[in-house]
Structure 1
Amino acid sequence: MNAYYSTLSGWIIPVTRAMKSLDLDPVKTLEMFDIDPAEVNDPEGRICVESLGNLFTFCNKRVGNRQFNIEVARSFHPSALHALGYAVQSAFSLQEALERVSQYKRVVSNCSNMDTYESGDELIVELVVYRYTDSGRLVLSPDLIESFLATLVQLSRDLVGGDIDPIKIQCTFERSSDDCPVVSEFFNCPIEYGCERNAVVLDLEQAKERAFGNNPAINQLHIEILNKFMSRVDKTNLTYLIESKILEELPMGAPSQADVAKQLGLSLRNLQRKLSEQGTCYKEILDNTRKRLTLSYIKQPHMSISEIGYLVGFSNVANFNRAFRRWEGCAPGEYRHNYLSTNSMVEHIHPRA
């Protein structure tokens, strides 16, 4: 028996907007595929991805040229992803935003994984789609894959003010026999079919530039909400549970692995084994949590360097400085100076209303 694959009900918003713009009846069309429009009102609601894929196939046949895939992407707004969408909007850079989507991909759906990584002067955003266990068929249809890649491109453009095109798009499925000018015009870059991966390839330098909506203080609040959400919906993933415990304890000092295991009702050996099965370890989770918190705090000028060090669990400033140099290759004060200098330049060029 196949597992139930689902996606966030927030996708109903861009889907219905796309249907309206293409003169399709949203209510009747959704009902044809047993999708309840009222699900969009539940922040944690889910819809069957098989039904969604069938809906995309139907709509594309009605409008032609895979136009529906692109129209859904054009109609997308980050708020459709609820807490994850707000965290993305307040991220420091496009790269950080896409890394955040990868980290919390389970919020969006349980149909695939997403990896965001650097390769030379490129930033690769790769969608790794799961397969049904009985048939080996991909859980996501080519239409859904193409629309999701287009949505990532639309999101990227929104975050940096529209002035960005991918270097290329890569798809595992074969090129359609239909001519698709709408798809080509939207991506505005080479599209490669029959590849080994589904991916959006971006210019790394552009992806590292500061995003217009970044707000480190607000972003940190959104991440805390996301961790609590993930600890509810994905109880099999210890990373979110452990990070939540670390965040609670850090201002009083970094909690030991044994302490966290006890709080989670696990033996130390059992915790270590479970983390190993997930390809990580406690030290890595602690280090990543400290780093992410530090980079959020250091962008807030009212917080002193020593205060930040204590808040992320270091007993003295020297240890904090050493850890920061390992993370970023420079001292905390130097990093803050560079950040604030960049901020002043952005504000000068793009003054806020």
Structure 2
Amino acid sequence: MHDYQKLLALSLLAYGAQKNLPVEQLCQLSGIDLEEVKADGPMTSRQLDDLWINATHLSGDVLFGLHFGESLQIAALGVVGQLIRNSHTIGEALTQAATFTHLLTDALTMEVKRTNAGFAVQFIPNQTRQRAAPAMFCQLMDFMMAFLIHEVDGLVLTRIQPDQVTLPSQIADLTEYERVLRCPTIREGDKYELTFAGNYWNEPILLANYDLQTTLLQEVNGVERSYEAHQRMSDRIKSYLLANANLGLPSLDAIAGNFNLSPRSVQRKLQEEGLTYQQVADSVRKTLAIHFLESGRHPTKEVSYILGYNELSAFSRAFKRWTGTTPGGYQKNQRGIT
């Protein structure tokens, strides 16, 4: 596990202690040796997933992640938190946060988009991680949304609150979500998204130190290079493709350019993992196709277009190769239609 993920785990344990949770029992249930962790020992992603689930269970708080995100101080993120504190504006702070979200978790990515009316922050699930640990994922997503809103408290002379919150799942306690997320307009949709008025974007960070920001960027970018050096090329490509699915699936040359590598280098790294770019891209297409079809919000022809197929018949053949059934047959099975 990366150091920043471990920082997040330790902050979760500290929050649990504040809430009078039996921390030793929490660690035991999660397969964590507390003394070893205190002595800077390792922690795995599986242990962190279990930590979220067991903390929610022991606390009896179905909104544990939401409340944890509300309470966490930005300093708990170490140098990444300091970098956010020393950004020039809220817009820059959120952009920095989005850039380094993967250092905190591999379960999602964060994207910040400017719009005509303001800007939107969207959290994009890693479908594989979401399916593997849905209970953990829900808590983590609540945490990220609450933390994003509250992380800039004390850094600006205004109280940040979104115009609208969109969630793809049923809301357990609407009143509490409205309180923590500071938004009376919470609706169900097909994504996790917070939208904000444009005037927040250029709101200056009070404590910004531009010289320190340069130093922090060098340090975090060094961590980023180390992180990427140890990450499988196929995982890097999958994360990028899922995060930018709305742009279509790019060519190998475009992917290589995004990673500042030559196409041949990307191919070689994938070959070392026993894969080709086509196989990785097809895996992502399958994940996205199933997601779009299950959502029921897109006709099959539109899903085919989104995934880069010029002909619906080509998409249908590919989907049958992946799943053993046609897109239409898959949707009927999902609805229980025989």
Question: Please, which moves more after superposition, 111-120 or 48-57?
Answer: 48-57
8 Å CA contact retained: 2:163, 2:183: yes
Q: Distance in 2 between matches of 1:278 and 1:50?
A: 32
Q: Distance in 2 between matches of 1:133 and 1:209?
A: 35
8 Å CA contact retained: 1:167, 1:203: yes
Matched residue SS, 2:120: strand
Matched residue SS, 1:200: strand
Matched residue SS, 1:124: strand
Q: Distance in 2 between matches of 1:44 and 1:225?
A: 22
CA-CA distance at 1:277 after TM superposition: 1.4
Residue in 2 that maps onto 1:296: none
Residue in 1 that maps onto 2:127: 131
Q: Distance in 2 between matches of 1:223 and 1:91?
A: 10
Q: Does 1:164 align with 2:165?
A: no
Query: Which one-letter code corresponds to 1:188 in the other structure?
Result: R
Distance 1:17 1:208, change over 3 A: same
8 Å CA contact retained: 1:90, 1:213: yes
Distance 1:59 1:167, change over 3 A: farther
Alignment of 1:195-344 (within 5 A): 195-235=189-229, 276-277=254-255, 280=258
Residue in 2 that maps onto 1:82: 78
8 Å CA contact retained: 1:18, 1:72: yes
**Structure 1 runs not aligned, ≥5 long:** 239-272, 283-353
Residue in 2 that maps onto 1:21: 18
8 Å CA contact retained: 2:178, 2:186: no
Q: What is the identity percentage for the equivalent residue pairs of Structure 1 and Structure 2?
A: 12
8 Å CA contact retained: 1:132, 1:138: no
Q: Distance in 1 between matches of 2:12 and 2:88?
A: 28
Matched residue SS, 1:126: strand
Q: Distance in 2 between matches of 1:79 and 1:207?
A: 22
Residue in 2 that maps onto 1:299: none
8 Å CA contact retained: 1:130, 1:138: no
CA-CA distance at 1:143 after TM superposition: 1.9
8 Å CA contact retained: 1:8, 1:108: yes
CA-CA distance at 1:129 after TM superposition: 1.0
**Over residues 218-258 of structure 1, what are the superposed CA-to-partner deviations in whole Å (9 max), with x where a residue is unaligned?**
001101011111111112599xxxxxxxxxxxxxxxxxxxx
8 Å CA contact retained: 1:111, 1:139: no
Q: Distance in 1 between matches of 2:52 and 2:20?
A: 19
Matched residue SS, 2:122: strand
**Aligned to 2:100, which of 76, 96, 104?**
104
How many residues end up aligned between the 2 structures?
Answer: 241
CA-CA distance at 1:204 after TM superposition: 2.2
Matched residue SS, 1:160: coil
Distance 1:136 1:70, change over 3 A: closer
Q: Distance in 1 between matches of 2:51 and 2:180?
A: 22
8 Å CA contact retained: 1:87, 1:219: yes
Query: Which one-letter code corresponds to 1:218 in the other structure?
Result: L
8 Å CA contact retained: 1:14, 1:77: no
Q: Distance in 2 between matches of 1:119 and 1:40?
A: 45
TM-score by length of 1: 0.59
8 Å CA contact retained: 2:168, 2:188: yes
Q: Distance in 1 between matches of 2:228 and 2:210?
A: 26
Q: Distance in 1 between matches of 2:42 and 2:90?
A: 25
Query: Which one-letter code corresponds to 1:277 in the other structure?
Result: I
Query: Which one-letter code corresponds to 1:156 in the other structure?
Result: V
8 Å CA contact retained: 1:171, 1:195: yes
**Over residues 90-139 of structure 1, what are the superposed CA-to-partner deviations in whole Å (9 max), with x where a residue is unaligned?**
11011111100111222112221111111112221111110228957759
Distance 1:119 1:134, change over 3 A: closer
Q: Does 1:121 align with 2:117?
A: yes
Q: Distance in 2 between matches of 1:200 and 1:134?
A: 20
Q: Does 1:155 align with 2:151?
A: yes
Distance 1:279 1:151, change over 3 A: farther
CA-CA distance at 1:14 after TM superposition: 3.4
Q: Does 1:52 align with 2:51?
A: yes
8 Å CA contact retained: 1:123, 1:201: yes
Distance 1:156 1:25, change over 3 A: same
Distance 1:216 1:44, change over 3 A: farther
Q: Considering only aligned residues, what root-mean-square deviation do their CA atoms show, in Å?
A: 3.4
CA-CA distance at 1:77 after TM superposition: 1.8
CA-CA distance at 1:89 after TM superposition: 0.9
8 Å CA contact retained: 2:164, 2:185: yes
Residue in 2 that maps onto 1:146: 142
